[in-house]
Structure 1
Amino acid sequence: MKKIIDSWFTVTPIDEKTFAISEFGHWEKVHSFLLIGEEEAALIDTGLGIDNIKRITDQVTKLPIRVVTTHVHWDHIGSHGEFDSVYVHKEEEDWLVNGIKKLPIEQIRHDVSRDITKPTPASFQPETYTPFQGQPTGLLEDGDVIELGSRKLVICHTPGHSPGHISILDTSRGYLFTGDLLYDETPVYAFFPTTDPVQLVLSLEKIANLKNVTKIFGSHNTIGLEPSLLDEVKKAVQELKRQDVIKFGTGIHTFNGFSVQF
């Protein structure tokens, strides 16, 4: 595939059928991921909605695309309305249909418009920016399997950052897509009113015990973390329990390769 040059999105090939689609011009440094199978493609999240991510996916594949939502926060559902097939965990169906809970639109508009370092399209108007709302095509549960044709995605319910947060294991390659449960450089958030520190730590423990992971892809910051990070996660979980700090207000806890804020 020829290299894609775009004014807003950066496309990084992970392998010949897996691509990170990044928005580095925004402080969130958010990544969506396009996984191409033999019969269908999966797009894990659709980004900020500052620009239309479908412009990129149309250049990469002609296969039908199923959007798989890690969680219903505004920076992960921005272009959901451009796709016909959208899936979300059942715990966040209501968020997708009726709006993100306990997050005022004023706060969202402030966050989407600040610290932008690339030119944005004329269609982006921060004062009227509104997160996608709509009925999902289907609902996901823990253990569900999405078959793309020669590529199988296993859904892991990993709540904590949000009630219906999921991680996705691509068993054909050992890629683990962790959404906002695990990434580097900046803290994983578990201090919002809609977050749950206890559930988040249980979810970290859950992914740390997954087998045959070859690479970890969080939705922010570095693209592709080594699976050895899961060993650090195991140690961190035990340390958080030992210190009895898995609760709101205990601040930022820093470990080797990642941090968490309660």
Structure 2
Amino acid sequence: MSASPWFEAEQLSEHVVRVSEPSVHRFYRANIYHVKGHDADLVIDFGMGLQSLGRFLDIDATKPILAVATHVHVDHVGSFHEFDNRFGHAAEEGAFSTMPDLATLAHYFRTQPECVSRAPTSAWDAAKFGLNVAPLTNVVTEGSVIDTGSASYRVLHLPGHSPGSIGLLDERNGILFSGDAIYDGALVDDLPGCEIDEYLDTMSRLQELDVSIVYGGHGAPMSRERMNHVAENYQRKMAR
């Protein structure tokens, strides 16, 4: 195995670190966020699980870690099982407990040509890739609140990309973690479980939010203006 780190970390703000897996195929290279709080830390999304995320993160053992999966797709739940306090939406509760390919889409990754640019372990075999089950310990729905002592995050149910897609909104500071509901790139609406009508409703809802920064499931952070631009482009494409 290469001696270079599997994960890369980037400090986005005083409290937010973005972690990525640069050797993973770009389509599956999702953002992982570590948000440091006064009483608890948030970890939002969990990559592919090809190496241990928990061992990589700078975790303060004196505080609880609140692990939030924005949805159950393979590129967001790989290391979810490593954490004890697991939050996810009720619409996908059963899928977190069983991690079936039909819900996680893990089979797409297994058969993706050049799914990784280098092996994560010496025993790596893409054909044997699978996800560890990660039953939810905390089932959330629209309006649930997750508090770190530094910020309070309201759960937004943002379906369309998947049935249980959620975002976390810090209304006080105008911060949204949006998962794959929206990000700075081409939105994906043609996978099993996607619903275009719900996605369009989600786009309209996002445009009503008073936010200053949006941390998406892929790509770079966005301003409110950029988020609205992405939403409007999607709406125009669907109206053709």
Query: Given residue 165 of structure 1, which amino acid in structure 2 is its aligned partner?
Result: S
* Partner SS state of residue 167, structure 1: strand
1:144–1:155 Cα contact (<8 Å) kept? yes
Would you say 1:130 and 2:130 are equivalent positions? Answer: yes
Aligned residue number for residue 183 of structure 1: 183
Map 1:4-153 to 2 at 5 A: 7-27=5-25, 28-57=28-57, 59-62=58-61, 63-100=63-100, 102=102, 106-111=107-112, 114-122=114-122, 124-153=124-153
Distance 1:6 1:157, change over 3 A: farther
Task: Tell me the CA shift for residue 67 of structure 1.
Answer: 0.7
CA RMSD of aligned residues (A): 2.2
Distance 1:173 1:191, change over 3 A: same
Q: Distance in 2 between matches of 1:242 and 1:110?
A: 33
Q: Distance in 1 between matches of 2:8 and 2:136?
A: 27
Aligned residue number for residue 166 of structure 1: 166
Q: Distance in 2 between matches of 1:240 and 1:81?
A: 37
Task: Tell me the CA shift for residue 6 of structure 1.
Answer: 6.2
Q: Distance in 2 between matches of 1:139 and 1:106?
A: 26
| Offset from partner CA, 1:56-86 (integer Å, 9 cap, x none) | 22x2433211111100011101001111111
Percent identical pairs in the alignment equals 25
Distance 1:46 1:231, change over 3 A: closer
Q: Distance in 2 between matches of 1:231 and 1:115?
A: 31
> Greater shift after overlay, 192-201 or 225-234?
225-234
Aligned residue number for residue 226 of structure 2: 229
Aligned residue number for residue 236 of structure 2: 239
Task: Tell me the CA shift for residue 170 of structure 1.
Answer: 2.5
Distance 1:84 1:125, change over 3 A: farther
Distance 1:193 1:234, change over 3 A: closer
Aligned residues: 234
Task: Tell me the CA shift for residue 101 of structure 1.
Answer: 5.7
Distance 1:172 1:51, change over 3 A: farther
Task: Tell me the CA shift for residue 14 of structure 1.
Answer: 1.4
Please give the TM-score of this superposition, normalised by the length of structure 2.
Answer: 0.88
1:72–1:100 Cα contact (<8 Å) kept? no
Aligned residue number for residue 192 of structure 2: 193
Query: Given residue 226 of structure 1, which amino acid in structure 2 is its aligned partner?
Result: S
* Runs of 5+ consecutive residues of structure 1 not aligned to the other structure: 244-262
Q: Distance in 2 between matches of 1:106 and 1:233?
A: 29
1:205–1:237 Cα contact (<8 Å) kept? no
